[in-house]
Amino acid sequence: QVQLVQSGTEVKRPGASVRVSCKASGNPFNNYFIHWVRQAPGQAPGQGLEWIGTINPNTGTTRVAQMLQDRVTLPRDMSTNTMYMEVSSLRPDDTAVYYCALEAAGTYFLHYWGQGALVTVSS
C-alpha cells in the first residue's frame, strides 16, 4: 500500500520561506508523479483546492502553476524517496493546508494523498 507522509505544521512570518516534505513508501508505481495541492483553512468549498505543481521524481522535470512560478520550487531527494515543496516570499494568503499526492504516470488523476501540512503565515 502506497503511503505519503508529510512534514508537520509550520508557522512563518510574511516574507519568509517554507519547505514541506513528502516521503513516499510502500512501493509506489515504477513511474509516478508527485503533485502538490493546497487548501486554505475554513469552511470548504469557499476554501477550495488549488493545484500548485508536479514533479517527475525520476527525471526531476517539474511544472508549476503560472501564478506561483516565481515563488515555488519542487526539489527531490531520490536517495530517500522524498519530495519537497519550497515557497518563498510568503504572504498571509499562502496560509493553507499543503498536500502532496501521487499520480501513476500517465493516468492524470491523484491516487494517493499525504495527510497534509498546515502552513500558517502571520506576523
Amino acid in the structure at residue 20 = V
d(CA 105, CA 16): 33
CB of 53 to other proteins, least distance (A): 8
For residue 15, the minimal CB distance to other proteins (Å) is: 26
Any idea which residue has 509506489 for its cell?
28
Q: Smallest gap, in angstroms, from Cβ of residue 6 to other proteins?
A: 11
**Alpha-carbon gap, residue 82 to 117, rounded angstroms:** 15
Which position among 66, 70, 79, 123 is part of the footprint of other proteins (CB under 8 A)? 66
Sequence length of the chain is 123
**Closer to other proteins by Cβ: residue 16 or 67:** 67
5 binds other proteins, rule: CB under 8 A:
no
Alpha carbon distances (Å) from 9 to 6, 54, 59, 62, 111: 10, 21, 29, 25, 24
Give the x-and-dash track for 22-51 against other proteins (CB under 8 A): -------------x-x------xxx-xxxx
- What SS3 state is found at 93? helix
* Chain positions contacting other proteins, by CB under 8 A: 35, 37, 44-46, 48-51, 53-54, 63-67, 99, 107-111, 113-116
